[in-house]
Amino acid sequence: MNEHALFDISIMLIPLIFGITVHEYAHGFAADKLGDKTARMLGRLSINPINHIDFFGTLILPIGVAVATSGAIFFGYAKPVPISPHNFKNLRKGIIISTLAGPLSNFVMALFWSFGLLATPHIPHHGFSTALFAISIMGIKINTILGVLNLLPIPPLDGSKVISVLLPKSIHTHLFNHEQYGLIILLAMSISGILSTVIDPMVKTVLGFYMNLIGLLS
């Protein structure tokens, strides 16, 4: 593997690992504030990536999907932060808020990387400035894709959990029983290009917002 390829993987993995880590932390943080202390008691209420990284889901899968889709899709996952919904005072509200906290955190992370992009012209060290610019661009793109992707109502994505609590219990149970097939469906959609077609309009809209914001602030 040449130096250029290693650099490309590095600038992808850094924002991806932190994007997925913060995503999981956000689930646990929201649940904790809503009365469920499960993540805190198990030591998972942490932004330390080591506590959340799944070797296959956080490293192997994202690289494989990115290569297969020529960088159009970045799909991966970390070890899910444990949540015990029965601890919520309002079950439906607790599940919805703690679930949506994950995608929301990715949109916030994209905003964070936008500020990183704004900082690059003011950094005197050219090599560091170039690396930060590349990582920031990738951070905005990856977190936007992760945020939009997780809103889809396909198990095990967050959108499916929100939809499931709004549906009758029989349908919720049916979705839960077939959740193991969701990853296969997502991989097939990624490789076939269907997933890109589905999420591209929303991804471009959100990316446009960040680019316009950067333009206004620069």
Alpha helices in 34-168 (DSSP H): 38-41, 61-68, 91-119, 126-149, 158-166
Structure tokens at 1: 């593997």
Residue 58, Cα to own-chain centre: how many angstroms?
11
Assess whether 24 carries a catalytic annotation: yes
Residues 23 and 157: beta-carbon distance below 8 Å = no
- Phi/psi region, residue 79 (left: phi>0; alpha: psi -120 to 50; beta: rest), is beta
Residues 6+ apart with CB under 8 A from 158: 99, 100, 102, 103, 150, 151
121 three-state secondary structure: helix
Question: Which residue type sits at 170?
Answer: S
The catalytically annotated residue of 24, 32, 36, 158 is: 24
Question: Which residue type sits at 104?
Answer: L
DSSP secondary structure string for all residues of 85-117 = GGGSSSHHHHHHHHHHHHHHHHHHHHHHHHHHH
Active-site amino acid positions: 24
